[in-house]
Amino acid sequence: MTVMTGVRLPGDSTVEHVTVGVPEPGHGQVLLRMKASSICGSDIRAIYREHLGAGPEAYQGVIAGHEPCGQVVAVGPGARRLQPGDRVVVYHIAGCGVCEECRAGYLIGCTSPLRAAHGWQRDGGHAEYLLAEEATCILLPEPLSYVDGALVSCGFGTAYEGLLRLALSGRDRLLITGLGPVGLAAAMLGRALGAGPIIATDVAPERLRMAEELGLVDHAVPADERATATIRELTDGRGCAASIDCSGSGAARLVALENTRTWGRCAFVGEGGQISFPVSELLIHKQITLHGSWVTSLRHMEELLEHLVRWDLHPERIVTHRFTLDQADEAYRVADRGTAGKVCIVFA
């Protein structure tokens, strides 16, 4: 095969189906046949609706999709670890490889002009094949599906990193604001790490209901004007030792801070938006530790895959809609409504 079909996102909430050449792997690269490629909230926020991004979020008109998972079909010269037939998860950014952030495994933080993210500055997973750097590919353990692997590459990795920053454990009651795919991931992983009870808020009744039906949360609280009062009732007025905002909403972040107990820890992982709050009252006087956490590292992503197998957890439990590549238009429309769980494009 010399040509393949793929999807680009021209903005204005539209999808463009294109035919492009199948790339050949260069030095240290591998060619993957795509098996699953899920849609991230950042795709909707900064590319699909309109091209908002600058710098690392600047969309360059490439094949969309930064949550890919597939099977190696060819390797380029210099590839030393992978071989055809290997199932792999892809860390969705290729950095310069030599800066401090890259050497620590946090390619997300690379500031070199060489940095390129799949689906943003280099072709992503919404096509039949994907060209990736061997160094950014992690073997997918056999008990996990390709859909599981696609969800790990960004959403579950982002949630896991945030929970690591919080040093979450069975000692903690956990509050999650925002039950989109990252919030659902935080609930699933928080439960596995022993936290509880788990309280979560969202504006969408569908997502609150889904989280309860899957047994991911103990209390699903509507994100309305009574949210803080309800959480205080559930925590005897103390709040939660750990909280994580996965929404990117200023109002939800405020709820997370208001309901983090004295000496507690709070993490912001939801992208975008702004927040204004009384610093003395909510942060200083309560002696709260506030973390910002951006995606995850190669090492922690590999560690998460190992834990998912050990915990017998499958991220694909939060997938509510699956589409073929030909149905990408509908896939993005469903994801844009903000009421579904994870939306994933799957390949035969």
Per-residue model confidence (pLDDT) at position 23 = 97
CA pair distance 114, 293, nearest whole angstrom: 23
pTM above threshold 0.85: yes
Predicted confidence (pLDDT) per residue in 214-223, tens digit: 999 999 999 9
- Using 70 as the pLDDT threshold, list the residues of the chain that sit under it: none
Per-residue model confidence (pLDDT) at position 57 = 84
Per-residue model confidence (pLDDT) at position 6 = 98
Distance of CA 329 to the CA centre of its chain: 21
For 64, phi then psi, to 5°, come to -75, 170
Per-residue model confidence (pLDDT) at position 53 = 80
CA pair distance 342, 208, nearest whole angstrom: 14
Distance of CA 79 to the CA centre of its chain: 28
Per-residue model confidence (pLDDT) at position 348 = 85
Amino acid present at 67: E
